[in-house]
Amino acid sequence: MTIPDNQGQVSMASSSPPGKEPVLGVGISKTAYAEVVRYCRMWVDDLRSRKGLPEALSRMPGRYICVTSVHGIVSALKNSRLKSILNRADIATPDGMPVVWAMRSFGVHGQTRVYGPDLMLAICSQAAACQHRIFLYGAREETLTALKAMLRRRFPDLVIAGAWAPPFRPLTPEEDDAAVRLILDSSAEIVFVGLSTPKQEMWMSEHHGRLPGIVLIGVGAAFDFHAGMVRQAPAWMQRSGLEWLFRLCMEPDRLWKRYLLETPVFLPLWALQKLGIRKY
């Protein structure tokens, strides 16, 4: 994916994250691919400047980025913890076209989508050029194997410091400690988290304090897409806001409740916010 250089300019001297626009009470960052990629580089540079200085590093916050779709926003309406996690994120990108359209309707003119799978590739491209060390957390072993192979083909210079597929159940405290140690021992600087919403957001919120300076990025289904386990919607369906229909057809048993029962409430609530009848 080509990231336009004229989108999302950010001063490398500034650590302030991009501003956010409230969408149904969830702050969504007014940003673009190029800006998010540059923030990641700035944060990794900051982390590297503190390596070898244990006291300074221990005081450094971990960063986390959420790619936020309609599903995430609607889930946050019913889950105050998730809402707080999204609002505390360093960056919460508009991952779906309905979110983009809502932001534009609220006055964020020119807002574009920042889609998790494409963002992952853009950051990997930069990581390969800058020798940033990435870690893959999530999915299944076979998915991680295929994903690593794809990334190495596409980005031969990419440093994959490690990967781990957690079991599909809550981790014991001992397992969780071991996972944190695995990431720290790998000297990873960027961790891609592929656990789906809201699991990945909660994991990042719970662990960013234990992973000082490391950039955590929740990318949802990107692992499955890039590993070839699940087909992505055609570009025209993504641009038209019809990706949900494609995904529903691909995975009806898993996604029917999300797309047929949960996310339809977004449209009337968006309208109420736009009309000023409901405020956030």
The pairing of beta strand 190-194 with beta strand 91-94? unpaired
Q: Judge whether 126 lies within some domain.
A: yes
Phi then psi for residue 202, to 5 deg, are -65, -40
Q: Judge whether 256 lies within some domain.
A: yes
How far, in Å, CA of 203 to CA of 21, rounded? Answer: 24
Phi then psi for residue 220, to 5 deg, are 60, -125
Q: Judge whether 14 lies within some domain.
A: no
The pairing of beta strand 159-164 with beta strand 190-194? unpaired
pLDDT band at 58 (very low <50, low <70, confident <90, very high): confident
32-36, 130-134, 185-189, 241-245, range with the lowest pLDDT? 241-245
The closest alpha carbon to 92, from 198, 19, 6, belongs to: 19
The pairing of beta strand 26-29 with beta strand 20-23? antiparallel
Give counts: helices (H), strands (E), the chain.
14, 8
Q: Judge whether 2 lies within some domain.
A: no
Q: Judge whether 7 lies within some domain.
A: no
How far, in Å, CA of 61 to CA of 197, rounded? Answer: 23
Query: What is the mean pLDDT of the segment spanning 3-14?
Result: 42
Instruction: With both helix axes pointing from N to C terminus, report the angle between 33-50 and 116-130 in degrees, rounded to the nearest 10.
Output: 40
How far, in Å, CA of 74 to CA of 197, rounded? Answer: 11
DSSP per-residue letters across 60-124? SPPEEEEEE-HHHHHHHHH-HHHHHHHHHSSEEEE-SHHHHHHHHHTT-TT-----HHHHHHHHH
Q: Judge whether 16 lies within some domain.
A: no
In this prediction, residue 256 carries a pLDDT of 83
Domain count for the chain, please give it: 1
In this prediction, residue 15 carries a pLDDT of 61
Please tell me whether the peptide bond between 198 and the residue prior to it is cis, using omega within 30 degrees of 0.
yes
How far, in Å, CA of 16 to CA of 33, rounded? Answer: 17
Q: In which element (H, E) is residue 143 found? A: helix 141-154
Give the amino acid at 229.
M
User: Per-residue pLDDT tens for 153-167?
Assistant: 999 999 999 999 999
Range of the domain at 221: 28-274
Q: Judge whether 5 lies within some domain.
A: no
DSSP-assigned beta bridge partners for residue 29: 20
Q: Judge whether 13 lies within some domain.
A: no
Q: Are 201 and 207 in contact (CB under 8 A)?
A: no
User: Per-residue pLDDT tens for 185-228?
Assistant: 999 999 999 998 999 999 999 999 999 999 999 998 999 999 99
